[in-house]
Amino acid sequence: MPHAHSSSAASSGGDDLGSTDEVKVFKDEGDGEDEKRSSENLLEEKSSLIDWTESEEKSGEPYSGKLSVKSDLSPVFGFFSPGKFEPHPAASFNMGYLMAPYPYPNGGAHPLPVSMTGKMGLSAGGGLSLFCPGGELGQPPPAHMGIPPPYQLDSKLAAGLARTPMYPFPGGTYPYPMLSPEMSQVAASWHTPSMYPISSAASGFRSPYPTSLPITSSSLSSELYRFSPTLGGGLGLGLGPALVPPPHSKADLFTHHSRSQEKGSSSSSAEKPADSSASNNKEQNKKPHIKKPLNAFMLYMKEMRAKVVAECTLKESAAINQILGRRWHALGREEQAKYYELARRERQLHMQLYPDWSSRANTQRGKKRKRKQETTDGGNNLKKCRARYGLDQQNQWCKPCRRKKKCVRYMEALAAAAGTVSLPMVTPQSPCSEEDVKLEELSDASSDEADTPLNSASSPGGLSALSSLASPASDPPPPPRNPVGTNPRDANNPLSVGQLTSQSWPRAAQARPGHEVISVS
DNA sequence: AGGCCTTTGAAGCAG
DNA sequence: CTGCTTCAAAGGCCT
């Protein structure tokens, strides 16, 4: 492992093995009305403290742990939504593999009020509501309950690194709160606690892996639980509904419940393949649909969606996702690291559960393939719009051009040539909350920094290209976000299954449409 | 009823 | 190797 944080780092990046970290409780100190609606729930759920104890990492047994439930305190695992914790056989366990220390009891239900964001963070110190509420900035929570960030980002880098903005904002700047000196300090020291309740429906995390056992609430049964790699219950991976009963049958293993699948149908997804057999061929029906594991951003969205929905009146996911995308970029790197780590575990678990699964199977599924994106014209079409209307009339561009934000490349290329990075073009998204307004204000105030090339790296890969420049030699080197290491199936992958290292960052400088990283050379 | 929108990241495929 | 495409979640909107 070329980087300092190999598997050993996973055991030292904040949580000593064998030690027990007491979960810091993030509690809303505010007294607004917002608390009212969940105060009762909060009180009720301040009944447990979950301590996560990691046992020593062993080869082939990368993650075994023990979860113990205490009383009197409501746990908040950083961004992990705590909630009512039902004592479960898995509350104390020692699983052999990939058991994530993220108890997500109650399906991710969160004891803290949703709409408190308006008065936390920002109002307190001009910071983000994403950050510590109530001014409790003194001590960060455990990194991610035993999962150290891939590496410790030095504060300077954390302060300076912003990613290429994906969204237009008033003033042509991107609201990177991290650019604020205050926020840089916060970012360097804090993990974002998830302070918001997540409705059970939208809650926490879906159960991407087979679930079948009806728990208590039928409406929640498919959402709250996910099964463990051992299929014997216990803590599920990461975020989601952690307590997962063993599936009844193998068929259950391949049953995915998701809102999208259940959309418009009262039948579960498990039944759906048979229902839609008319349109699907038999082969496809035989093969249950195994969904892709959620990536880091998806996990983040899952957690934060309810919060944004609560803050905003709008419920359209498209708009919500835009906001979440902004916040994702505004998120500190350590925060993101947690999600990357979780996503990595998701993939590992998924791989363990479905060794033969390939995403190709999903793309070739009976479902009507989504329309191809401008393949007929190829990339030329994108250039046509730009050439046709120019950058100043991007509203004239065709949808795909705008959607793919090809202009970003163009603009970034120009900016790179000029030594600065300009903004991407996207349909404007007005902020829905005070927080977002503040985000924009912050970005305006710090637009100069934001426009520096250093801050233009896309997340998170873009950071890699720049981090070395930004970080002094004495700083811990970032993990090599090399392409090789990202695919656990890759034989060369240092993070192959069975290993758990701190390396969790995605490919370096992965070029994405509209999210291109400008290499600084 | 089902696709679209919208986001980021992962993975697969084509050239 | 690079770039493109699809899918993962979500829910209102649109056809």
Provide the residue-wise pLDDT of chain A in tens; the chain has 521 residues: 333 333 333 333 333 323 333 222 333 333 333 333 333 333 333 333 223 323 333 333 333 332 222 222 223 333 333 333 233 333 322 222 333 323 333 333 332 223 333 323 223 233 333 333 322 222 333 333 333 333 333 333 333 333 333 333 333 333 333 333 333 333 333 333 333 233 333 333 444 444 333 333 333 333 333 333 333 333 333 333 322 333 333 333 333 333 333 333 333 333 333 333 334 444 445 567 788 999 999 999 999 998 888 888 888 889 999 999 999 999 888 889 999 999 998 888 888 888 888 887 777 643 444 443 333 333 334 444 445 555 555 555 554 445 444 333 333 443 444 443 333 333 333 445 455 545 444 333 333 333 333 333 333 333 333 333 222 333 333 333 333 333 333 333 333 333 333 333 443 333 333 333 333 33
A372 closest-nt by C1' vs CA? C5
Give the largest Cα separation in chain A, rounded: 65
- Amino acid whose CA is nearest the C1' of C13: A316
A442 CA, B6 C1': separation in Å? 24
Which residue, among A464, A461, A335, has the nearest Cα to A77 in the 3D structure?
A: A335
Tokens 């977002």 locate to: A436
A284 CA, C9 C1': separation in Å? 22
- Amino acid whose CA is nearest the C1' of B12: A360
A305: CB within 7 A of chain C nucleic strand: yes
A264 CA, B1 C1': separation in Å? 8
- Amino acid whose CA is nearest the C1' of C6: A363
Hits for CB < 7 Å against strand C across A residues 358-397: 359, 362-363, 365, 367, 369-375, 378-379
Measure the CA–CA gap between A136 and A267, rounded to whole angstroms.
Answer: 46
- Amino acid identity of A11? S
Q: Which nucleotides of B are covered by protein (CB under 7 A)?
A: 1-13
The number of C-alpha atoms within 13 Å of A324 and in the hemisphere containing its C-beta is 23
- Residue A173 class from Cβ within 10 Å (0-12 exposed, 13-18 middle, 19+ buried)? buried
A400 CA, C5 C1': separation in Å? 13
pLDDT of A91 reads 30
Distances (CA, A) of A15 to A3, A101, A131, A152, A477: 19, 12, 21, 13, 20
A234 CA, C12 C1': separation in Å? 36
Tokens 């900035």 locate to: A137
- Residue A286 class from Cβ within 10 Å (0-12 exposed, 13-18 middle, 19+ buried)? exposed
Map residue A318 onto helix, strand or coil.
helix
Hits for CB < 7 Å against strand C across A residues 64-123: none
Beta bridge partners of A51: A68
Contact by Cβ (8 Å): A82, A196: no
A224: CB within 7 A of chain C nucleic strand: no
A360 closest-nt by C1' vs CA? B12
Distances (CA, A) of A319 to A234, A239, A343, A432: 36, 23, 23, 9
A265: CB within 7 A of chain C nucleic strand: no
Hits for CB < 7 Å against strand C across A residues 450-489: 483
Q: Which nucleotides of C are covered by protein (CB under 7 A)?
A: 1-13
- Amino acid identity of A138? G
